[in-house]
Structure 1
């Protein structure tokens, strides 16, 4: 997806409905595992979540995609667009929708700034010494989105923020596990260095996509940890406002399904893409009405 930033600060001329539709298109094209859950939200909340997703997706894509403009400069521009939308100024459909969403749901600016800082980490850091080091990254790029989302979903207790962090960490760890091969092609290894060593692997093994018993044991270890975060996040569901709890339950369960598919593939994430079939998603939709827990 091309991330279009307007450099001249020309005001966005479209209407708000079109801006939200633009964000919905981004979410449905780039985040089908998320957008399934989003579809069960009330319309106003759904639109706001689409806007948050699109803004976050664009920040991530700036780092991942190749552009003529310096990536750091593009992130600076996106951060500038964030500051301006909080002042009611916007020149892009995503920031137009965001301006409406952050005002309507009183979403603070800080988590968005932290998210952009997490994206900047990808520019200067492509290895993580241990899980604590990786967790700091997850706090920036994932837990921030949990804070934004909880402002929209609504919550019954401040404890929701703790368990929301568990869920966002679980989702990010799932992405890391699923995308080991794709990240290796960008010379990024998110799997902690001390854990590679523990299982007898080196950076070269990951970059060369070596699939053997050492890798299987490493990935089994990573998957079990991600599932433990999903288990802790079960406590989040009853703390979410009733009109949004089903969305959260379904979204997390789809990602658990991704992990289960990776397990079924014996952790061969290099050559087997873990996908949840439409039939499987339909089954999850039915099951979550009976059992909302992730795991």
Structure 2
């Protein structure tokens, strides 16, 4: 007769092994999706690094779903009716056509609904089998992450299923909050802090990073029919949405003036965001500092180009890439460039 204690021990080991395997899968997703971010995570203590990888894997897959680069390999037909209702709701909210043809649009909506469903399972403590959500559930319970932030993230990504046309900076900030600040509010719980002001700075950090992403990814987003730059603000400088496809636009005075205007807003968010780093637990400061330095370098490159983010994709120069790869952080020179555009 097998001892019940041995059976319980085997069951416990199996659960532990499944969880470890789930975290390993999240690590692979993080490593394959962004080697730069993955390198920044490696400086965290093990338990925090695993949680960040789980969070990143969740966010990566949500982004991949929206971009059409990945869908869960399961039958989601049981979500057909709910997807129809959600599509009707989104059509009313956005008052525009989807960015993708069918069945691609519906498949993306169903996949995001499935992600929401798994967040509900985490909240209610139901059994979870998918590795990403298994690891995420453990991280959420370990670090008291509020799932409302991840639901807001999914809502923000749903915006990208439609042709994006933001009118002003407030519209853009709302998107940046849902697409990035929500993630920051989860990350600070993993990093650890004592001063509640860390959450406010995390919101600003998300807006800073996402507004830089808008510049970095502008060509790819234009190809997908997405324009994140605020149209009313561009119009003040004589620039229309159609003008963004004009290869001569970056050399015009109107564009350079608009870029000064845009970068002033970016730098304002950066100024409010940078206070986050000193409020985090000491064992967690290096990783977000490294990430911030990488985005500072991208922003500097936009300034060095005199605002030309349309001709070619923004990226770090070779020297800065080497610095980042070696884990070197220097004080950014952004203040020296603020008057150059």
The two structures have a TM-score, normalised by structure 1, of 0.87
The match for 1:287 is 329
1:65 aligns with 2:65: no
Aligned residue number for residue 8 of structure 1: none
Which residue of the other structure, out of 221, 224, 227, is the alignment partner of 1:186?
A: 224
**Structure 2 CA distance for aligned equivalents of residues 278 and 36 of structure 1:** 17
Query: What is the aligned length?
Result: 282
1:42 aligns with 2:45: yes
Partner residue, 1:3? none
CA contact (8 A) 1:48 1:97 kept: yes
| Structure 2 CA distance for partners of 1:278 and 1:96, relative to 1, 3 Å | farther
Counterpart residue number, 2:194: 156
Q: Give TM-score, length-normalised by structure 2.
A: 0.76
Q: Which runs of 5+ in 2 are unaligned?
A: 1-14, 72-102, 336-341
The equivalent of 2:11 in structure 1 is none
**Alignment pair present for 1:56 and 2:98:** no
| CA offset digits 1:76-103 (Å, max 9, x no partner) | 1111122123324323221121111111
1:1-295 matches, cutoff 5 A: 15-65=18-68, 68=103, 70=106, 71-86=108-123, 87-124=125-162, 126-208=164-246, 210-213=249-252, 214-276=254-316, 279-283=319-323, 285-287=327-329
The alpha-carbon distance between structure 1 residues 129 and 150, as it changes in their structure 2 partners (threshold 3 A), is: same
Q: Distance in 1 between matches of 2:229 and 2:298?
A: 18
Q: 1:32 to 1:228 in 2, by over 3 A?
A: farther
Change (3 A) 1:62 1:73: same
**Residues 155 and 241 of structure 1 are in contact (CA less than 8 Å); yes or no, is this contact kept in structure 2?**
yes
Tell me the distance in 1 between the aligned counterparts of 2:280 and 2:141.
Answer: 21
Cross-structure match for 1:6: none
Residue deviations 1:149-177 (CA, integer Å, cap 9, x gap): 01100012000011111111100000001
Worse-matched range after superposition: 247-256 or 64-73: 64-73
| Preserved contact between residue 126 and residue 189 of structure 1 (Cα < 8 Å) | yes
Larger Rg: 2
Deviation by residue 1:99-158 (Cα, 9 ceiling, x = unmatched) = 111111111111011111111122245111100111111111111111100110001200
Query: In the TM superposition, what whole-angstrom CA distance separates every residue of 1:243-271 from its partner, at most 9, and x where no partner exists?
Result: 11111211111101111122223333333
Quote the offset at 1:18 in angstroms.
Answer: 2.5
Give the whole-Å Cα distance in 2 for the aligned partners of 1:219 and 1:21. 42
Q: Secondary structure at the match of 1:144?
A: helix
The separation in 2 between residues aligned to 1:167 and 1:144, in whole angstroms, is 10
Using the alignment, how far apart are the partners of 1:173 and 1:130 within structure 2?
Answer: 13
Q: Secondary structure at the residue paired with 1:123?
A: coil
**Separation (CA, whole Å) in 2 of partners of 1:261 and 1:35:** 22
